[in-house]
Structure 1
Amino acid sequence: MNTQESIDLSITPIPPPVWKPESVSLDTFENLTFFDLEATGLERDSHITQIAATRGSEEMSCYIMPKKKINNKASQVTGITTKEGRMFHFGKPVPSLSINEAINKFMQFCTITAGKVVLVGHNSKVYDCPILLNAIKNCSSTAHFETCVSGFLDTRKLFQLTYPGRKSYSQESLVQSLCNQQYQAHDALQDASSLKQLFESCNFDDVSLKESSFSLTSALDALAYSNTVATNFPSLEKLVLEKVLSECMARKIAGSGLNLKHLHIAYLRNGTDGICSLFTEGERRVRVTKSKKIIESVCSYLKKSCPEQ
């Protein structure tokens, strides 16, 4: 580390603590709107290739031209491909919209006169919700979305609570065993429609519904936290590879708003005490950890990689 870098590190501010947000459940389950999406892959920053929703006797569906390449596995599963600016579904050309047009169409469907809707999806907390909210954020439509959607209901968790002990909680398996039907899975409209039918064929208690839901605000908070981890974690990966930290602890550090440069700053300023103060700051809960073993492991690494000025 040269002198200029050391000087810059010593004056750079360390961001305030960030904590992993707690999920907040919904209290009411009116205006249920069943939705599903297909995307270019499984990653949270994947681009949507199809989105569909149904409520009552109404439904909407559209294909979306992605700006990312659809990976081969996703194409095999969904049948969606692109070529020379056109979209195809199992080889047949289909009309497509831009992501901005599609998000506007989806939000128009979610906008009703009798309050806000609850979006119901299968495994939506892990997959559909983060991808959808990323797309809405990129379209600068979050504020509009908040006016028409109160939160989400994840039916995978709902069925896990209601029917414990099943070998599979995939939507296909549930539809086949509980409704004695099959359908064209991995088509967004077919998925949303079959989920609606599946949901309406079962009885769920209020406790399970509540435990399977999460508010839009908490979903947005969770997405922001996930993005913070994604931004900071790459700088800490070397510490995981060198077994200075576990991956779980490195992600916790990243989620708290810190990257490797911030650790260098704290160590340059006050050595081991600097890292200890940084990791343990906070009133009701600590920023990272009070573990002396972890603090000493990080300091040992920093002592070698961050010599005194």
Structure 2
Amino acid sequence: MQHAESQQALVFFDLETTGLGGSCEIVQLAAASGGHSLNLYVVPPCPMQWGASKVTGFRVRRRRLYLRRRLVPTNSLREVLVSFVAFLRMLGRPLVLGHNIRRFDCPLLLRALDGLGLRAEFESAVSGCVDTLPLARELLKGRGLRSFRQTDLVRELLGVDYKAHDALEDVRALQALYGALQPTAELICRQRFTLDAVESKPVDSKEPPGQRPLWENFRQTVADGKEDEATR
């Protein structure tokens, strides 16, 4: 079997949000393809949940967005999505990939696109989506891994740690992880999906199934004194 064809452009993307529930909002959108990258921020229309702020470092004060106490430049959600579509078009209808995106990022992206009337523009700019979580599960099912979260996979396959929960760092790490996984064209085709196959609301957690939201652990730690993935 041959590996996925190199001429198929790939875009790795990730979102950081105000929380993990179905009503959360986008705060950061990042994408990477080869040496090209996109990294944009949004002042969300709702407050950051405490746990999300703890994990990501984002705070909103007086309609300004801060990342680890530093003011970051922001755009409207429409500007961010239009820029994302333009980035995709520049690469000629690429395949969009992300970790656990079918359960979380894509439903949230779909809601935002629909809300601004941009869904058709996005769909015409891509050839499909692939979730690297089930992809990794299939490729690595014989290795006895307990966790398939991205940070653990990067550590296991690449031997490095990185600054997780920053969308740009996440997509760069995923791009390297994908290179190590080397999925076949047949597997990519089998895992490919479109927005039509996505639920309209994200699940309550960005973590893989079976995991509590990260800040629940913080709350329990405070009261008392991502993600250990269950094997299939």
Measured against the shorter chain, the TM-score band is 0.7 to 0.9
Q: Distance in 2 between matches of 1:143 and 1:66?
A: 23
Q: Distance in 2 between matches of 1:28 and 1:130?
A: 27
Match of 1:136 among 95, 113, 120: 113
Report the CA distance between 1:76 and its aligned residue: 0.7
How many residues end up aligned between the 2 structures? 196
Which residue in 1 is equivalent to 2:160? 181
Paired residue type of 2:179:
E
Q: Distance in 2 between matches of 1:35 and 1:52?
A: 6
Which residue in 1 is equivalent to 2:192? 213
Report the CA distance between 1:77 and its aligned residue: 0.9
TM-score by length of 2: 0.79
Match of 1:117 among 94, 107, 127: 94
Greater CA radius of gyration, 1 or 2?
1
Which residue in 1 is equivalent to 2:216? none
Q: Distance in 1 between matches of 2:73 and 2:183?
A: 38
Structure 2, unmatched stretches of 5+, are 203-232
Q: Distance in 1 between matches of 2:16 and 2:149?
A: 16
Partners of 1:149 and 1:216 within 8 A in 2: no
SS at match of 1:68: coil
Which residue in 1 is equivalent to 2:40? 62
Which residue in 1 is equivalent to 2:67? 89
State whether structure 2 residue 93 is matched by structure 1 residue 106. Answer: no
Report the CA distance between 1:206 and its aligned residue: 3.4
Report the CA distance between 1:213 and its aligned residue: 2.1
Identity of aligned residues (%): 32
Partners of 1:34 and 1:121 within 8 A in 2: yes
State whether structure 2 residue 129 is matched by structure 1 residue 152. Answer: yes
SS at match of 2:108: helix
Match of 1:49 among 27, 49, 58: 27
Paired residue type of 1:123:
N
TM-score by length of 1: 0.60
Q: Distance in 2 between matches of 1:177 and 1:60?
A: 27
Partners of 1:150 and 1:216 within 8 A in 2: no
Moved more, 101-110 or 206-215: 206-215
State whether structure 2 residue 127 is matched by structure 1 residue 167. Answer: no
Partners of 1:38 and 1:186 within 8 A in 2: yes
Q: Distance in 2 between matches of 1:109 and 1:207?
A: 26
Q: Distance in 2 between matches of 1:117 and 1:205?
A: 17
Which residue in 2 is equivalent to 1:303? none
Paired residue type of 2:13:
F
Partners of 2:9 and 2:91 within 8 A in 1: no
Report the CA distance between 1:79 and its aligned residue: 0.6
Q: Distance in 1 between matches of 2:31 and 2:83?
A: 11
Q: Which has the higher helix share?
A: 1
Q: Distance in 2 between matches of 1:139 and 1:119?
A: 20
RMSD: 1.9
Report the CA distance between 1:31 and its aligned residue: 1.4
Q: Distance in 2 between matches of 1:103 and 1:44?
A: 19
Q: Distance in 2 between matches of 1:176 and 1:113?
A: 29
Q: Distance in 1 between matches of 2:127 and 2:115?
A: 20
Which residue in 2 is equivalent to 1:7? none
Structure 1, unmatched stretches of 5+, are 1-26, 228-309
Partners of 2:139 and 2:181 within 8 A in 1: no
Paired residue type of 2:162:
Y
1:117/1:216 CA distance change after superposition, 3 Å? farther
Match of 1:190 among 166, 169, 172: 169
Partners of 1:45 and 1:134 within 8 A in 2: no
